[in-house]
Chains A and B, each alone.
Chain A
């Protein structure tokens, strides 16, 4: 039987004000150890001020095979962009 520890995805906030960004993954028996391993593996040079670890099994991802059908509905809605609208010459603050 495999005794392999579960996989965790690691997200790091580089500086206050930025969002957490995915940096990689690691194996750990539980969340506490995963946090410690993430600190040791991914922040040896002060790369972050905050770490999230998420069980890889808990992530649901969209499928790359379906990406056209999945994202298509947004493609024909140009009116969601401000550049769609003509603004008369001389009108400011719009």
Chain B
């Protein structure tokens, strides 16, 4: 609609992830056709058999309490991240450098709102209400991804967020398309299909800047320098320190460990950075032929925990903005409910 004033750059490895989403969707349909042979078995046996057959647990099925509460925690935290994630990018909508970039950024931020809603709806199928979920976010009882507590200082940050932050999110999220809880898996398939444009538009912003003026090139490199390690930290603490992982794997909520996904992300980014002609800010980054993977410097996990605890650069700003938006919108929710009640009574 706004015309493409340059060729779409080739982004190595981008289509492989999307193929995995398609394949997760195919497998979901295929597994649904298999018969689960549990016969007269008890609830727990039936639950275990469904998981073993790679079928989906549905909202009204019996499930262990810890499965339910663990999923509510994970899906809610994911939903909160989508909602808070609108803020760093919303910061640049009014200052996007062209109408085309502005329209794209608006569509992306609107997608994040949609993704938050898909996920809240999935969490609600587990018996928690929307009011409770909103309450847990604005009181800080549930967390959102710590990446959104970093500031967006320049336009190039829109590129780095798309390429690195959305890229890391996709690597994390593609395996969730195979999650054993049906409503979550279906929401993730939808989200991953939509997310792929997010990552590509970020890559394209950086690609354009890296071929612009010296100043634009420096701005692009500076953004990559600031977002690289926080993006690596998005995969969570190292496997040895990860508290929820083992049970999550057994229940097929989670499919790969934090460290495996982080490695996969690094290996994916290296050729992409070369295509961008930008440097990854890690002097220790090099191919290890024995492992068939790149060696790289781990992010600063002490910083990750400090940001999670509330001491990142923007924690207070993000929370107070979210609270204000919720309070300022109260009259709209009340007026709509009052109007609906009046019409129903008439």
Q: Report if A and B associate in a common complex.
A: yes
The chain A residues found within 8 Å of chain B, CB to CB, are 2-5, 7, 24-27, 29-30, 33, 40-41, 44-45, 61, 63-65
Task: Please tell me if the beta carbons of A26 and B60 are within 8 angstroms of each other in the complex.
Answer: no
Provide the B98-137 mask, 1 if CB < 8 A to any CB of A, else 0. 0000000001001100100110011011000111000000
Task: Please tell me if the beta carbons of A64 and B114 are within 8 angstroms of each other in the complex.
Answer: no
Task: Please tell me if the beta carbons of A41 and B62 are within 8 angstroms of each other in the complex.
Answer: no
Interface of B is mostly: helix
Q: Which residues of the partner chain A approach B124 to less than 8 Å between Cβ atoms?
A: 7, 25
Other-chain residue from B62, B117, B333, B336 in contact with A26 (beta carbon distance below 8 A) = B117
Cα distance A29–B339 in the bound complex, in angstroms: 8
A2 and B129 in contact, given A29-B340, A30-B343, A64-B60 (Cβ under 8 angstroms): yes
B61 within 8 A of A: yes
Cα distance A65–B62 in the bound complex, in angstroms: 8
Cα distance A24–B125 in the bound complex, in angstroms: 10
- List the B residue with the shortest CB-CB distance to A27: B130
Other-chain residue from A3, A24, A45 in contact with B121 (beta carbon distance below 8 A) = A24
Task: Please tell me if the beta carbons of B333 and A5 are within 8 angstroms of each other in the complex.
Answer: yes
Task: Please tell me if the beta carbons of B337 and A24 are within 8 angstroms of each other in the complex.
Answer: no
Task: Please tell me if the beta carbons of B336 and A24 are within 8 angstroms of each other in the complex.
Answer: no
Cα distance A41–B113 in the bound complex, in angstroms: 8
Q: Which residues of the partner chain B approach A26 to less than 8 Å between Cβ atoms?
A: 117, 121
Q: Which residues of the partner chain A approach B110 to less than 8 Å between Cβ atoms?
A: 44
Cα distance A79–B110 in the bound complex, in angstroms: 54
Q: Which residues of the partner chain A approach B58 to less than 8 Å between Cβ atoms?
A: 64
Q: Which residues of the partner chain B approach A3 to less than 8 Å between Cβ atoms?
A: 131, 333-334, 337
- List the B residue with the shortest CB-CB distance to A61: B60
Task: Please tell me if the beta carbons of A24 and B334 are within 8 angstroms of each other in the complex.
Answer: no
Q: Which residues of the partner chain A approach B186 to less than 8 Å between Cβ atoms?
A: 24
